[in-house]
Amino acid sequence: MKEKLERCFKIRLLLTGKCTAKCSYCHNEGQTKSANLLTLEYIKEIFGKLESKNNLPDEVILSGGEPTLNKQVKDIAKFLKSKSIYVSMASHIGHTDLLEPVLPYLDELKIHLDSFNHDEQLKSMGIPLENIINSINLAKKYPVKLIVNHPLINQTKTVEFIESARKMSLDCKIIEEFGNINNIGLDDVDWNKNGYFKYRCNGFKHVNSSHRLFLKRCDVSHDRERTLFIGAEGIRSKLEVKTSIKDIGKMDKLVTVI
Ligand code: SF4
């Protein structure tokens, strides 16, 4: 059992609580929306400790808030890459100039996008679609896996969204939000009828292309057994539990739990 859990050990680094988007459903990983920057220095300290215990994670997710607003994001990604860790980043990618320096050090970019319709996207997130398309075109020049994360809000619009993503060769992850606030769940959509067949747990493929679709329920049990959350506000083994960031000793306990 321990071996299995260690194989999927992930750390989500909450690089900042700040974000330039304005999604109404944002839970911001349980953080406040202040800047609260996580520093490279502190990350090095934590990863030095993990490495000495031979317990480096399989994947690190750079997250936030909006991680590109942390000026050290490139150096943080570069440091993690030097440890041969799979590095992914969850971002709204609305700031192409801030994204560009990080791209060489990313294995995967999880793009938060609400709509491929210009007006709807601006209304929903406050981030212009043109900025996101520019960032996607830039990212495609790098060997980075791209996936768009999309909240399930409206069945018809989500199906249209998936079709647009497929035309752009962007895999999708459809997320049922915390508490299913939109009263529509992943089980309410007939994925087969919309051209997708299940090929693995929560994974679907399009019948006539290589396009992939993943489904995720975002609830309070979200990744709790596999993911450690580290931010300037504390270290957590699950979203609702915080501990002092100054007490590195507690890290041992949290890692042992995982
Ligand atoms: S992009 Fe993410 S962090 Fe920013 S407001 Fe939207 S949900 Fe929150």
Atom of ligand 1 nearest to the CA of 19: 4
Task: Name the residue with the closest Cα to ligand 1, atom 6.
Answer: 23
State the pTM of this model. 0.87
CB neighbour list of residue 53: distance below 8 Å, 6 or more residues apart: 252, 255
Report the 10 Å Cβ neighbour count for 215: 21
Any atom of ligand 1 within 6 Å of the Cβ of 28: yes
Nearest CA to ligand 1 atom 8: 26
Q: How far apart are CA 106 and CA 79, in angstroms?
A: 11
Ligand 1 pocket, 65 CB below 6 A? yes
For a pocket test of ligand 1, which of 32, 36, 66, 131 has the largest count of ligand atoms closer than 8 A to its C-beta?
66
Radius of gyration in angstroms for the set of CA atoms belonging to the chain, rounded to a whole number: 18
pLDDT at 185: 87
- Residue 218 beta carbon below 6 angstroms from any ligand 1 atom: no
What would the 3-class secondary structure string for 136-178 be? HHHHCCCCCEEEEEEECCCHHHHHHHHHHHHHCCCEEEEEECH
- SS3 of residue 119 by DSSP: helix
Q: Decide whether any atom of ligand 1 lies within 6 Å of the 23 Cβ.
A: yes
**Contacts (Cβ under 8 Å, ≥6 apart) of 92:** 19, 20, 21, 66, 111, 112, 113, 125, 127, 132
Q: Mean pLDDT for each 10-residue chunk of the chain (258 residues)?
A: 54 94 76 75 93 91 96 98 97 98 98 96 96 98 97 91 97 82 82 94 93 84 66 71 46 49
State the pLDDT at residue 211. 97
Say if ligand 1 is within 6 A of residue 112 CB.
yes
Distance 106 CA to ligand 1 centre (A): 20
Q: Is 177 in the pocket of ligand 1 (CB under 6 A)?
A: no
Can you give the pLDDT at residue 253? Answer: 54
Task: Give the residue extent of every domain in the chain.
Answer: 7-23+30-143+219-257
Q: Is 19 in the pocket of ligand 1 (CB under 6 A)?
A: yes
- What CATH code would you report for 7-23+30-143+219-257? 3.20.20.70
Report the half-sphere exposure of 225 (CA within 13 A, side-chain side).
7
Find out whether the beta carbon of 56 lies less than 6 Å from any atom of ligand 1: no
